[in-house]
């Protein structure tokens, strides 16, 4: 028996239950992974609240790192004893689990398990947003919401390493300092209430080439209004709730693009997963990306960690560690 976090009914963080389950042996194409670190992401909260639908009961969590304990028939991607990580496979809040081996990526030397769990989903998302959804180029002005958060921090760092002019938006002066330390050229506070005007001033009236928005309802219109002609709004989360519907004609006024990408759609093929992961780990190795871990929690305190995330008490990444390994 191993410990997992279970959701039997959707709602608040009080619905997270810490329970014993039997994992079993891996079948064809599956590996059993003993997890050493588990990443916390806003999407975990979205599943728990019912915003994203899945069959009940379920175990939340979308990324983790650990060691392969056993493999089923036909597994070729990994071997017993490999240090691995994964992202985009629901069920990460667990001490051990079964997972398709095709979703596992070996962790390179020089990257520890906590770092891998802290960055893999967010890091792959960052690579996809900056290199595939919209290929950011040197000299382009971009807008990054929640710029001091786990995703925002990585977007700021990676984009600035590409030579982009990064405008970050944050909620506090303390977070503004963190965004600047990550490489943001300009940092705006949401409390100033003049985001679009300030973006126009910074870009000499042109607007930004692309806006990355994980906040949703509270920032959606400002993101659209901040875009340059033929600019793109990339909405990849909705921490403040889903944006209101818009008429397609609003995009036509400046020939704008609107997209809602998913990591899973960009890494469904094994070769794509490996390409994105390799680029991510290369940027960690060359120093372009530094992982800032806000805190680690024992897995049994998953509800408290999610509460802190919702209260905007976190910056950078948050990681769970199985209780037996927590120090």
Distance CA 190, CA 188 (A): 7
Other beta carbons less than 10 A from residue 288's beta carbon? 15
Q: Say if strands 30-39 and 96-100 run parallel, antiparallel, or are unpaired.
A: antiparallel
- Report pLDDT digits (tens) over 107-155: 999 999 999 999 999 999 999 999 999 999 999 999 999 999 888 999 9
CB 291 within 8 A of CB 119: yes
Among 44-48, 183-187, 237-241, the minimum mean pLDDT is found in 237-241
* Residue reference for tokens 């175990």: 59
Distance CA 249, CA 238 (A): 23
pLDDT of residue 240: 83
CA dihedral sign of residues 28, 325, 123, 206: positive
pLDDT of residue 102: 97
Which homologous superfamily is 138-260 in? NAD(P)-binding Rossmann-like Domain (3.40.50.720)
Q: Say if strands 186-189 and 165-170 run parallel, antiparallel, or are unpaired.
A: parallel
9 phi and psi, to 5 degrees? Answer: -150, 140
pLDDT of residue 300: 97
Which homologous superfamily is 2-121+282-325 in? Medium-chain alcohol dehydrogenases, catalytic domain (3.90.180.10)
| Separation of first and last alpha carbons in the chain | 22
**Exposure letters 157-185 (e unless 16+ CB within 10 A, then b):** bbbbebebbbbbbbbeeebbebbbebbbb
pLDDT of residue 36: 98
Residue range 286-290: mean pLDDT, rounded: 92
78 phi and psi, to 5 degrees? Answer: -140, 165
- Report pLDDT digits (tens) over 312-323: 787 778 999 999
Burial class (CB in 10 A: 0-12, 13-18, 19+), 190: middle
Residue range 85-104: mean pLDDT, rounded: 97
Strand order in the sheet with 227-235: 186-189, 165-170, 141-144, 208-213, 227-235, 257-259
- Report pLDDT digits (tens) over 2-18: 999 999 999 999 999 99
Q: Say if strands 257-259 and 2-7 run parallel, antiparallel, or are unpaired.
A: unpaired
Instruction: Kindly indicate the confidence band of residue 289, based on its pLDDT and cuts at 50, 70 and 90.
Output: very high
**Mean of the per-residue pLDDT values of the chain:** 95
Has residue 276 got a pLDDT over 90?
yes
Has residue 249 got a pLDDT over 80?
yes
- Report pLDDT digits (tens) over 75-86: 999 999 999 999
Q: Can you give the pTM of this predicted structure?
A: 0.88
Has residue 68 got a pLDDT over 80?
yes
Residue range 46-58: mean pLDDT, rounded: 93
Domain ranges of the chain: 2-121+282-325, 138-260
Share of the chain above pLDDT 90, in %: 87
């Amino acid at each position: 028996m191993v410990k997992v976090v279970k959701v039997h009914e959707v709602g608040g963080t009080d619905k997270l239950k810490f329970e014993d389950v039997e994992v079993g042996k891996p079948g064809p194409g599956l590996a059993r992974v003993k997890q050493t670190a588990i990443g916390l992401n806003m999407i975990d909260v979205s599943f728990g609240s019912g915003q994203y639908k899945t069959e009940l009961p379920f175990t939340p969590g979308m990324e983790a790192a650990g060691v392969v304990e056993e493999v089923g028939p036909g597994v070729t991607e990994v071997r017993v004893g490999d240090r691995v990580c994964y992202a985009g496979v629901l069920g990460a809040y667990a001490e051990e689990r079964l997972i398709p081996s095709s979703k596992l990526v070996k962790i390179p030397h020089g990257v520890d398990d906590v770092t891998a769990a802290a960055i893999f989903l967010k890091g792959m998302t960052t690579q996809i947003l900056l290199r595939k959804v919209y290929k950011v180029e040197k000299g382009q002005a971009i807008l990054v919401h929640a710029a001091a958060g786990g995703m925002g921090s990585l977007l700021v760092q990676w984009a600035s390493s590409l030579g982009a002019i990064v405008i970050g938006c944050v909620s506090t002066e303390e977070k503004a300092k963190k965004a600047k330390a990550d490489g943001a050229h300009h940092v705006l506070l949401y409390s100033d209430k003049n985001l679009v005007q300030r973006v126009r001033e910074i870009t000499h009236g042109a607007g930004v080439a692309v806006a990355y928005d994980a906040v949703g309802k509270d920032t959606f219109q400002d993101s659209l209004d901040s875009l340059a002609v033929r600019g793109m709004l990339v909405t990849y989360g909705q921490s403040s709730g889903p944006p209101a519907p818009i008429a397609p004609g609003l995009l036509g006024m400046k020939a704008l693009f609107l997209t809602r990408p998913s990591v899973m759609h960009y890494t469904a093929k094994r070769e794509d997963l490996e390409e994105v992961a390799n680029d991510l780990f290369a940027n960690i190795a060359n120093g372009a990306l530094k992982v800032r871990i806000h805190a680690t929690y024992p897995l049994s305190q998953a509800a408290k960690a999610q509460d802190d995330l919702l209260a905007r008490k976190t910056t950078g990444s948050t990681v769970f560690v199985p209780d037996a390994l927590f120090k």
